Chains A and B, each alone.
Chain A
Amino acid sequence: MKTRFLIAALAFLAAAPALVTGVIAADGPPPASGPAYQGPKVSSGPHPITLDVQAESTTREIVDDVKRVRNYADQPPLIPHAIRDYQIDLNINKCLTCHDRRNVEGSQAPMVSVTHFQDRDGQTLGTVSARRYFCTQCHVPQTDAKPIVGNSFRDFDAVLGTAGKEGGH
């Protein structure tokens, strides 16, 4: 019995410093903030949660129905119209009610390309392939927001110096 008490007391003594430092660290002042944030500037970016910061103005969707240039041949085309509340789930794909093969006559919308009908083995199916069902994985609408990160992308023609030439090649 006596030995057991002794062991318990020793264990407590060993653990005591760790417990005490832990409590002090938790109560102590927060660590000094590091150097000023260097990353991209984001709306309502990093600031203490206790500080009230004016939110930056919101951006507007681009909904002018005008096709945008694609920066490379297989870029998924952008969505030039509002897609608010568009339901894409097991019940219905709202996009396909216009862009599906069956519906383009009535809607006069561009039909999804044949690649969307191919499964991963390259088999062309009768309807849109399950792996292409979730349109907004690749196709996105745009807003008039200024880019928060610089972009040095140059398209094919710019790299070859053939931009503006007849036919682009």
Chain B
Amino acid sequence: MAALRNFLLLCWRVFARPSVHFSLGFLTLGGFVAGVMFWGGFNTVLEATNKEAFCIGCHEMRDNPYEELKQTIHFTNRSGVRATCPDCHVPHNWTDKIARKMQASKEVWGKIFGTIDTREKFVGMRRELAEHEWKRLKENNSLECRNCHSAESMDITRQAPRAANMHQTYLFTGQNTCIDCHKGIAHRLPDMHGVDPGWSMKTSAK
């Protein structure tokens, strides 16, 4: 214990004492360059983990949600615009993104211990995993949907009357948010017992 204390004290003394061998210019410029390199490296790695190729680098994501996505309109459609995994599952705003990345350490844990490393395990956990995403999207008012689909740009005269009516009733009034009605838009749904569709929800809290 005393040895550890002495070692920490030594470190602090070295850290707190003015430099003897290095000039102020070297330390300032060196610190600046090191900072640039650190930040650049950090950002590059962060961006790399925000690519679909990274997400489907693991068989859990490649064989389950990605395969399901490929059949849906968010992957294949008339205009050829598509959503990638991070478009919906990683917040674009920096602080939210970092917060989500810290949460994702749980997913690294899951990967290491094989929480969903078979189809059966994945299907078994699907409801729980889906609920996490529903909760996140409900709390941020479906921000990741709205990064592409804005209510302002939505021309309801170009929609089927049924859809236009629903959007006027529930979306434009702020009564519901996208995810309340559009669950399962990009992946297969889990057992939905006890989950009412948005238009049948008794609550109107956003």
Which residues on A are within 8 Å of B, measured CB to CB?
Answer: 63-65, 81, 84-85, 87, 90-92, 94, 97-98, 102-103, 105-109
Beyond A85-B71, A85-B72, is A91–B190 a contact (Cβ under 8 Å)?
A: yes
Taking a contact as CB atoms under 8 Å apart, the answer to whether B197 and A65 are in contact is no
CB nearest neighbor in A for B170 = A106
Interfacial chain A residues near B166, Cβ < 8 Å: 107
Is B199 on the interface with A (CB-CB < 8 A)?
yes
Main secondary structure of the interface of B (DSSP, over half): loop
Taking a contact as CB atoms under 8 Å apart, the answer to whether B189 and A98 are in contact is no
CB nearest neighbor in B for A103 = B200
Is B115 on the interface with A (CB-CB < 8 A)?
no
Taking a contact as CB atoms under 8 Å apart, the answer to whether A107 and B199 are in contact is yes
How far is B168's CA from A152's CA once the two chains are assembled, in angstroms? Answer: 44
Taking a contact as CB atoms under 8 Å apart, the answer to whether A81 and B200 are in contact is no
Taking a contact as CB atoms under 8 Å apart, the answer to whether A65 and B189 are in contact is no
User: Beta-carbon contacts of B168-206 to A below 8 Å, as 1s and 0s?
Assistant: 000000000000000011001111100011111100000
User: Beta-carbon contacts of B47-85 to A below 8 Å, as 1s and 0s?
Assistant: 000000000000000000000000111000000000000
Beyond A65-B162, A81-B162, is A87–B188 a contact (Cβ under 8 Å)?
A: yes
Taking a contact as CB atoms under 8 Å apart, the answer to whether A85 and B73 are in contact is yes
Beyond A81-B160, A108-B165, is A91–B199 a contact (Cβ under 8 Å)?
A: no
Taking a contact as CB atoms under 8 Å apart, the answer to whether A63 and B160 are in contact is yes
Cβ distance B6 to chain A, nearest Cβ, rounded Å: 62
Taking a contact as CB atoms under 8 Å apart, the answer to whether B72 and A106 are in contact is no
Interfacial chain B residues near A84, Cβ < 8 Å: 73
Beyond A87-B189, A92-B192, is A105–B200 a contact (Cβ under 8 Å)?
A: yes
How far is B17's CA from A52's CA once the two chains are assembled, in angstroms? Answer: 81
Is B18 on the interface with A (CB-CB < 8 A)?
no
Taking a contact as CB atoms under 8 Å apart, the answer to whether B161 and A65 are in contact is yes
Taking a contact as CB atoms under 8 Å apart, the answer to whether A87 and B184 are in contact is yes
Beyond A63-B160, A65-B162, A81-B160, is A106–B189 a contact (Cβ under 8 Å)?
A: no
How far is B182's CA from A94's CA once the two chains are assembled, in angstroms? Answer: 11
Interfacial chain B residues near A90, Cβ < 8 Å: 191
